[in-house]
A = this chain, B = another copy of it.
Amino acid sequence: MPQLRQDPIAGYWVVIATERAKRPHTFTQAPKEHTKPGRECPFCEGNERMTPAEVIAYRKPGSTPDSPGWYLRVVPNLYPAFGPAEGSLYPHQVGMYAVMQALGVHEVIIDGPDHHNDLGSLSVEQVATVVKAYVERYLAHKDNPIIKYILIIVNHGQEAGASREHPHSQLFGTPLVPAMIEQELAGTKLYQQKTGRCVYCAMLEEELQLGDRLIYENGSFVAFAPYASRVPFEMWILPRHHSSHFEVINEMQRYLFAESLHAVLGKLQQGLNDPPFNLYIHTTPCHDEAGGVYHWHVEILPKLSIAAGFELGSGIMINTATPESAAEFLCSIPI
């Protein structure tokens, strides 16, 4: 019989539809056509003039901005969803409706010059370089009074909304704290009040003890399939020890974080033949007064199903794979 499972943080319910459950390997993707590196890709080396001028880049000594010789580039999004990062939000009413300027930032982090290898197939060193750029750009924006939250995301594959195949990440600085974060913060605070504990720490303890949803662990990070997984092969990566702010990650942790990203995305890629996915980092809002209560983490949502009328109209996801079978399958994939 189908089961309704509840996420203990944000409180959402998920149907684990065992009646329509599929075996993990049935989610394996058909081979797909890849775009070619080179002339038409604005993120490939040599095409630097096809993007706006770079904000920062990690470069070989002697190379000059907006020219070849880089390991990683950050450029403003050509069609920003948020921006600029200064001015007045001008919140006002239009009749009965509230509106404001979508000030903020929207940057593209080009993960490397390689057109094909992404976070799951680059070297751990290169992934650590990408994480370094995440932190650097986070720090560059976090004190801007306009920016209330910084969301770092990865879209991989066309079905997951990636408009470019060349591996890249995006950083959004928003002038409000997004609803998803507000919900998780509220849930975290409530759990703290009730039990005196961090809900994410409690979850880590439980998952490490049970083990049947664990996917990967190293000295500083643990990855598992959450009990109330919304989609097949949903994965979370949490710092093993309580940590509220992503941007304070030190060099050693950054390397171990890169290792965990590389491992779980590599398993996904190899296990299911490079499926599309969305990934985001959830951390404490900028200028947070309460501080310390939240536990930053990564959520990875493979795009192997479609949120249809029921999901959109109810907010309840129907998941046709159990997290336990997904974790078992991913554990069996060597990295």
A interface, CB within 8 angstroms of B = 1-6, 8, 11-13, 15, 17, 19-20, 79-84, 94-103, 149, 151, 153-155, 159-162, 170, 172, 174-176, 178-181, 183, 202-203, 206, 210, 227-228, 278-282, 299, 301, 305-310, 312-316, 318
The secondary-structure label for the interface of chain A is mixed
Looking at the complex, which one of B12, B15, B299, B308 makes contact with A82 (CB distance below 8 Å)? B15
Q: Are A308 and B179 in contact (CB under 8 A)?
A: no
Beyond the given A280-B313, A299-B313, please list 13 additional residue pairs across the A-B interface where CB-CB is below 8 A. A1-B84, A5-B98, A8-B97, A17-B81, A97-B228, A153-B308, A159-B306, A160-B309, A172-B310, A172-B314, A180-B313, A180-B315, A278-B308
**A80 to chain B: closest residue by CB:** B19
Q: Are B97 and A227 in contact (CB under 8 A)?
A: yes
Across chains A and B, which 10 residue pairs bring their CB atoms closest together, nearest first? Answer: A161-B308, A280-B313, A153-B309, A178-B314, A20-B79, A2-B102, A161-B306, A179-B315, A278-B309, A6-B98
Known: A96-B202, A314-B179. A154 touches B2 (CB 8 A): no
Can you tell how many copies of this chain the complex includes?
2
Looking at the complex, which one of B19, B151, B306, B310 makes contact with A153 (CB distance below 8 Å)? B310
Known: A15-B81, A81-B2, A176-B4. A210 touches B95 (CB 8 A): yes
Whole-angstrom distance between the Cβ of A121 and the nearest chain B Cβ: 19
Q: Are A174 and B280 in contact (CB under 8 A)?
A: no
Query: A159 — which chain B residues lie within 8 A by C-beta?
Result: 306
Q: Are B151 and A99 in contact (CB under 8 A)?
A: no
Q: Are A309 and B178 in contact (CB under 8 A)?
A: no
Whole-angstrom distance between the Cβ of A305 and the nearest chain B Cβ: 8
Looking at the complex, which one of B5, B82, B312 makes contact with A278 (CB distance below 8 Å)? B312
Q: Are A310 and B170 in contact (CB under 8 A)?
A: yes
Q: Are B4 and A79 in contact (CB under 8 A)?
A: no
Whole-angstrom distance between the Cβ of A90 and the nearest chain B Cβ: 10
**How far apart sit A151 and B12, CA to CA, in the bound complex (Å)?**
17
**A101 to chain B: closest residue by CB:** B1
Query: A2 — which chain B residues lie within 8 A by C-beta?
Result: 80-83, 101-102
List 29 interface pairs A-B (beta carbons < 8 Å), by A numbering: A2-B102, A3-B100, A4-B102, A4-B176, A6-B97, A8-B96, A11-B179, A12-B179, A15-B82, A15-B102, A17-B79, A19-B79, A81-B310, A95-B206, A97-B227, A151-B313, A153-B308, A154-B309, A155-B308, A155-B309, A161-B305, A161-B306, A161-B307, A161-B309, A162-B308, A178-B314, A179-B316, A180-B315, A280-B309
